[in-house]
Amino acid sequence: VTLEGTVENLLAKQRAIRVAESIRGVRSIVNNLEVPCGNRSDSTLLSDASYALVLDPVTEKAELDVNVEEGTATLTGKVQSWVERTIAAQNVRSVKGICRLENRIDVSYSGERDDAEIAEEIRKRLKYDPYVIDHLLSVEVKGGVVTLEGKVASLEQKALARTDALVPGVDSVALNVEIDEDLQLPLQRKSKHVIIADEEIADAVELALELDARTRDSDISVEVENGIVTLSGTVPGLSSKNAAIQDAYHTIGVGRVQDQIKVRPGELRSDEKIGSDIRRVFGWHPAIERHEIDVTVRNGKAFLYGKVDSRYERGQALQAASTIPGVAEVDNRIVVRNGRWEHATDYEITKNIERELRRDWLVDEEDITLRVVNNLAVIEGELQGRRELRRVVENAFDGGAEMVRVTTNINGVPHTNFYHYYDVYETW
């Protein structure tokens, strides 16, 4: 697939690539998308990018430098994990007017790890990832350089396997894998969709929390009973809490997550300062800045009001506010403007949704049934995890549904819920 044309910002360019990766049959992407540089000065871009790194608790204390020249941002410095490197780059991409990004951050793990230890940890990560076919991948590590060989079902699954391989101590990852779209999820389910002991699920979640820079230093306890994970303890920020919930949902065998985590900010900040920082981030964020969003903060709880054009923009506002130091909770009352639904019969919507489901490599449409009644999509069947649930719901919306009702089992745990187009799925 070759992508050509112009998009407004680096986030849109990244989003276009991710959409293309999710389509069945895509084996590689040639990215020729261009981002025009805005009319904001390099000094303003530098100020905003530097402050974005300071605001994020993951990058706040890292030894990072950013330079901006003619709209191109260059990141340099050292971090201890690939997650920190990725988050730093994402923070800079989120500044309106930056049209190119060169990420030259070095990942330098402070401890000593031999190749065998690294390889074993990668094998565990692949095993615990419900969206990767681990038994079709071999792992070899020499001098901190990882080589993955075997087969994957899609380009997106290839990217997920690479992420799993980026554990502490890894210098680089080489992917010598073949994309075989005949694999798909039925084969994957034979090895992954099984009952797993609660103790093993707990170990997998704890490993994920330990490797995630957003949760590594938090005090989180993990308990599992019949595939239901309960997370408790304290974290320094809301972004850490959301990351912990996401890590748990994306672990094999997890049917549901019960959140009992308390946010206890280490730094006491006034509501006025918190609100000021949220407004500043909204002012430079390319997906949010053109909308009028009101922000009120009371006792560390941020209330967001306003109207945006899409669920994506509403979600970006929630995510941006969640990373601000001192925010303990976000009440997102932003609404998505109406008027997106063209006149279509239930039959037409059904056919559109079926087409969307067939395109998505992660969804096994043979395991679900679909019917549409008065623009309500009713979906029943078996789903493997939270990521597949999200994709099914989004496919239904993309096909023209105004509301979606899902009744399913996720790893043996019943799940029934209504989703409106305006909803944002915070833990996804």
Task: Give the model confidence (pLDDT) of 132-183 as tens digits.
Answer: 888 899 999 999 999 999 999 899 999 999 999 999 999 999 999 999 877 7
State the Cα–Cα distance between residues 216 and 292, nearest whole angstrom: 36
The runs of H, that is alpha helices, within 28-183 are 42-55, 82-93, 115-128, 155-165
User: What is the pTM for the complete model shown?
Assistant: 0.85
User: How far, in whole angstroms, is CA 226 from its chain's centroid?
Assistant: 26
pLDDT confidence of residue 187: 44
**Of the ranges 54-58, 72-76, 186-190, which one carries the lowest mean pLDDT score?**
186-190
Residues whose CB is less than 8 angstroms from the CB of residue 382 and which lie 6 or more positions away in sequence, other chains included: 193, 367, 368, 408, 409
CA atoms within 13 A on the CB side of 246: 15
pLDDT at residue 186, rounded to an integer: 47
- Cα angle: 402, vertex 405, 410; to 5 degrees: 135
Confidence at 107, pLDDT banded by 50, 70, 90: very high
Instruction: Report yes or no: 110 and 90 within 8 Å, Cβ to Cβ.
Output: no
Q: Which of 172-181, 183-192, 389-398 has the lowest mean pLDDT?
A: 183-192
Find the mean pLDDT for residues 285-314.
91
Per-residue pLDDT at 326 exceeds 60: yes
Give me the pLDDT at residue 38, please. 81
> Rounded to whole angstroms, how far apart are CA atoms 162 and 174?
8
pLDDT for residue 194: 56
pLDDT of 291: 84
In the chain, % of residues over pLDDT 90: 66
Between residues 365 and 137, the one the model is more confident about? 137
